[in-house]
Amino acid sequence: MTTSHSKASEAPAPEVTGAYAFSPREIVSELDRYIVGQREAKRAVAIALRNRWRRQQLPDDLRDEVLPKNILMIGPTGVGKTEIARRLAKLAQAPFLKVEATKFTEVGYVGRDVESIVRDLVEISIHMTRERLRKAVRAKAELNAESRLVDALVGANASQETKDKFRRMLRDGKLGDREVELELQDSGGMQMPTMDVPGMPGAQMGMINLNDIFGKAFGNRTRKRKVTVEDSYDLLMAEESDKLLDEEQVVSEAIAAVEQNGIVFLDEIDKITARSDQRGGADVSREGVQRDLLPLIEGTTVATKHGQVKTDFILFVASGAFHLAKPADLLPELQGRLPIRVELSALSREDFKRILTEPENSLIRQYRALMGTEEVELVFSDEGIEALADLAAEINSTVENIGARRLHTVLEKLLEEISFTASDRGGERIEITPDMVRERVGILSKDADLSKFIL
Ligand SMILES: Nc1ncnc2c1ncn2[C@@H]1O[C@H](COP(=O)(O)OP(=O)(O)OP(=O)(O)O)[C@@H](O)[C@H]1O
C-alpha cells in the first residue's frame, strides 16, 4: 500500500446529491418505508450519512480531519442489518459493497486480498457513474443511434428524403420487427486474463495495461450482427452514449464517489475473532484478517487498475450475530474504529405481520403484482396473514431462526402450486385463508426433518 495522495482524490468531490440534504429524521422515515422496527440501527446510519454532508460543509483543513464514525451492527441473522445499509446507500446514491469477512480466511486467500474490497467497490462505482452520465448524454445519443439505424436500414448514401421517411416510420414504431445488419462493438473474445501477483499490490494493473495495448493495437474490433430494429435500440444507445462519455471523467468521478461516499458492509465480523477460531488448520488466521482489514478502515491508499484510491472516508458498517464471540474479542484497534454500536432485535410474530404488509415492496405486494401479470388476483385475508406470521415464527423457533428470510421460504411454498398454474387461471380470484396456510405449509412444519429441507 502506498501513502501518496492519488490524483483522483484531488478531483472535485462528487456533487452533493439531494439525499445528503435529508436530515437524520428524514433519512429514518425514508428507511421506515422498507424496514420494520430496528429504530436504533436506522438512527445510527442516518447520523453517519448526515455527518458526510456536515463534513462537506467544513473548510478544507478541518474537513480532512473528520473521519467517518464506523458502525458495528449486532444482531441475529435476517433481521434487517444488510437491508438497512443497502437502503441507505441507495438513498445516498453511494457505491455499496457487501462482503463476508470470513471470505478472507478461506484457503487460497492471501493478506493483500482485502484490498479487493476497494477494487470491487471501484468497479461498482464506475458502473453507477457511467449509468448516471449516460443519462446526461441521452438525448444526443438517441439522435446518433437513430441516424446509425436509419443508415443501416436504407444505406448511408440514400437521399435525405428517404432517410427522413424511415426516421418517421421508426419514430412511429412501424419498423420494430424489421431485421437490420449493424456493425457493433465486439465485446467478447479480446479479454486478456488478469491475475494477482501475491505481495505486489497493483500487479493486476500491468496485466490490464497489456490488455489495453492489445485492445488498441488490434483496434476496437467490430462485428456485423443481424438484429431486429426493436432489439437494436439498447445496443446502439449503449455504444452511442459511451462514445459521448469522457472515459477519464467517468473513472475520476467514480473514484471520487468511492472515496467520499463509498459504503462497505462487512458481514460476519464476529466469525473472524480469535474466540471463533476453533478450526485452525490451513485457514488464514482470523486475527490476521482483522489486521489486514485495519489499514483499510483506518485509511490508506489502495492501488487499483483505475488509479489510487484513498479509503479514509469510506463508511464501514460491520455486522455480526456475536453469539459466541463478543465485540470485545475483536482487536482493540478494530474496536476503536467501530465506535458506534447498535443492537438489532430478533423479530417477533408481530414484526412478521408488519413485514408482510407494511413495506412498500412487501412480499405480499410482490406476489400480488407477479400473479397480476397473469390476470390472477391474489387476496390475503387478515387471518391468512396472521396464520403466515404465526407459522414463520413457529418454524424459526423449532427448526432454525433465520429471521425474516423465513417469510420468503414459507410464502414460496404456500404459493408454489398457484404460481405453477397461474398462466392457465387468468381471471380467477384466489383468497389466501388460514386453512390454506395450514394445509400447504403447516403440515410440513410439523415434521421437523422434512421442514429442515423444505422450509
Ligand atoms: N426489519 C425488517 N423489515 C423488513 N424486512 C426485513 C427486516 N429484516 C429482514 N428483512 C428482510 O429479510 C431479508 C434478510 O434481511 P437482511 O439481509 O437485512 O439480513 P441480515 O440481518 O443482514 O442478516 P445476515 O447477517 O445473515 O446477512 C431481506 O429480504 C430483508 O428485506
Does residue 82 line the site of ligand 1, with CB under 6 A? Answer: yes
Contact 196, 204 (CB under 8 A): yes
Residues carrying CATH 1.10.8.60, the chain? 349-445
398 is an annotated ligand-binding site residue: no
Q: Average the pLDDT over 104-114 and give the result.
A: 71
Q: Which of 54-58, 235-239, 266-270 ranks highest by mean pLDDT?
A: 266-270
Does residue 292 line the site of ligand 1, with CB under 6 A? Answer: no
- Give 288 Cα–ligand 1 centroid separation in angstroms: 29
Respond yes or no on whether ipTM tops 0.90.
Answer: yes
Does residue 355 line the site of ligand 1, with CB under 6 A? Answer: yes
438 is an annotated ligand-binding site residue: no
Q: What is the pLDDT of residue 10?
A: 41
168 is an annotated ligand-binding site residue: no
Q: Is the CA virtual torsion 97, 5, 216, 129 positive or negative?
A: positive
Pairing between strand 307-310 and 301-304? antiparallel
CATH number of 349-445: 1.10.8.60
Q: What is the pLDDT of residue 18?
A: 47
Does residue 35 line the site of ligand 1, with CB under 6 A? Answer: yes
Q: What does the pLDDT look like over 399-449, one tens digit per residue?
A: 888 999 999 988 988 888 888 988 888 888 888 888 888 877 776 666 666
Residue 150 binned pLDDT confidence (cut-offs 50, 70, 90) = confident
Closest protein CA for atom 29 of ligand 1: 405
Residues carrying CATH 3.40.50.300, the chain? 7-128+253-343
Beta bridge partners of 2: 301
Q: Average the pLDDT over 1-16 and give the result.
A: 41
Does residue 253 line the site of ligand 1, with CB under 6 A? Answer: no
pTM: 0.77
- Give 385 Cα–ligand 1 centroid separation in angstroms: 19
30 is an annotated ligand-binding site residue: no
Among the residues of 192-303, which ranges form H helices?
203-217, 229-244, 247-261, 286-298
Contact 170, 146 (CB under 8 A): yes
| Percent of the chain topping pLDDT 90 | 33
247 is an annotated ligand-binding site residue: no
CATH number of 7-128+253-343: 3.40.50.300
Q: Is the pLDDT of residue 240 over 50?
A: yes
The packing angle between helices 349-357 and 363-372, to 10°, is 40
Q: Average the pLDDT over 174-179 and give the result.
A: 76
Q: What does the pLDDT look like over 375-405, one tens digit per residue?
A: 989 989 888 899 889 888 988 888 888 999 9
- Give 403 Cα–ligand 1 centroid separation in angstroms: 7
